[in-house]
Amino acid sequence: MITHTNPSNIHSQLGNDFFEKAIPATFPKHILRFRNDRVAKSLNFEKINDEKWINYFGKFNRFPGVEHYPLALKYHGHQFGHYNSELGDGRGFLLSQFLDKNNKLWDLGTKGSGQTSFSRGGDGRLTLKGAVREVLATEFLSSLGVLTSQTLSIIETGENLIRNDEPSPTRSAVLVRRSHSHIRIGTFQRLAHLNANESIEKLIIHINQNYFQSINNNASINIIVENFFLEVVKRIATMIGRITVSGFVHGVLNTDNFNVTGECFDYGPWRFLEFAEPNFTAAYFDYNQRYSFGKQPEAALWALTQLGHSLKLFIQEDKRIEILNQFSKFFNNSLSSHFSWRLGIKGMEIINVNKIMHKLLNISQKYKIDFALFFYNFYGGSDAVLEATGGIQGEKYKIDEFKEIINLLKETESLNSSQEKRIYFKDNYENLLINEVEFIWNRIDKYNDWTFLNNKIARIRKIGDLLGAKKLIDF
């Protein structure tokens, strides 16, 4: 018997305007491949044995206290700039919600759990490779201090799937992720498209009560919506600043892939950078490089503009523009603070962080300056300069184009703990490039060898522990 879990049914109380009943798929097999006990602990799930874990997260039995069926959420969205009114949860659903030990509300959402009325001809399944890629992305982003959904569970389901973008037939899985919310920008776009203004107001009040609790819901509705919009702009700008410092390329920043609470989520053709290439694109089908590394802030601002447009009956255009104009401030503040955090230094001024990032974006690929390795080599700022530039490995940092970066780093002040951590980072450098991801999957696919995945997760969690990522996010 599970004890001390604290289920919530708050989203189901919004009503059928926001979701449809989902009927989970039944699978021929249920092989537990990954369970995230670090996340489970916050929800008092860590004592669930594997059999019951599979019952809840593979067979979708209801937790005690969960009063609703799985909810396939309704939303629209822009996909690569084109509006699509036929979206919605097509291979997942909101399984349940729980309050953690600090009374924070969390969603448990599925991926690969079967067809819904929004599947649009798809099979509603997830490949095991897709699940493996998602856990790698969420684990590494977590260690790098990025607010992200957390992969809670992966269960292999024993079906053979046909896909155009990977060798087929391929193995299948169902994934469960934890996120604060699955309410998307596209959720509001759908309501605006349907002129469902009362539902927009209802949803904003719901979000403020459960997620943005600093916002006063007793003010006039126009002020409430303005404050809500400003909070979403701040949260998404902050997330984009952090993924920029992390060298992460999401790949598909459509408006249905932004949730309003500001976690990065819904991982598909993501990549981490080797070199800081502004035009580097993760999705092979992104022919116009709309979501390239350097355009991610622009994509986020464009998506937020669509959210603002969905709120036009509540916020005048000049006020929407005023709020959107604050995106740059929030993004730069996030970029500066996260850059300093990842380097183990006291806060560097925004202007200097921008100078370094601009320089790296221009010379990284040309001189093969590894983006992730830069942060490990110069961890501690001024204290690391001499060692980082010494020896054969430091030759690349002695080029004329890098001198401005060195001079700016010499002016920084390291945190007290940076020396000890730098010793570890010197011999324990981790990135997550595509070749390593493919190697890890190859070992699983051909040999059913999960050792390399488990070892990678352990190593990148160690990086996160040293960086102090837990202070920035909720594992």
Residues noted as catalytic: 256
Distance between CA atoms of residues 332 and 351, nearest Å: 9
Residue 286 identity? D
For 198, counting Cβ atoms within 10 Å of its Cβ (0-12 exposed, 13-18 middle, 19+ buried), the class is exposed
Q: d(Cα 413, Cα 415) in Å, to the nearest integer?
A: 7
Q: Which residues pair with 99 in a beta bridge?
A: 105
Q: How many CA atoms lie within 13 A of 355 on its CB side?
A: 14
Instruction: List, in sequence order, every residue forming a beta bridge with 150; answer none if it has no partner.
Output: 178
Rounded to a whole number, what is the distance in angstroms from the first to the last CA of the chain?
A: 24
What letter would DSSP give residue 471? G
DSSP state of 161: E
Spell out a b/e string for 319-331, using b for 16 or more CB atoms within 10 Å of the CB, else e.
bbeebbeebeebb
How far, in Å, CA of 463 to CA of 143, rounded?
6
| Bridge partners (DSSP) listed for residue 248 | 272
Contacts of 373 (CB under 8 A, 6+ apart): 429, 431
Return the DSSP state at 44.
Answer: T
Tokens representing residue 7 in the block:
């289920």
Q: Three-state SS for 120?
A: coil
Strand pairing category for 170-179 and 150-161: antiparallel
Q: Kindly list the distances between the CA atom of residue 408 and the CA atoms of 140, 244, 349, 357, 413, in Å, as whole numbers in the listed order.
A: 28, 20, 10, 12, 11
User: Cis peptide leading into 269, omega within 30 of 0?
Assistant: no
Estimate the crossing angle of helix 350-363 against helix 403-410, to 10 degrees: 150
CA distance 235 to 265: 14
436 contacts: CB under 8 Å, gap ≥ 6: 456
What is residue 302's three-state secondary structure? helix
The CA–CA distances, whole Å, from 431 to 130, 195, 248, 295, 460 equal: 19, 46, 11, 22, 8
217 token code pair: 């819901």
Q: Do 182 and 94 touch, CB atoms closer than 8 A? A: yes
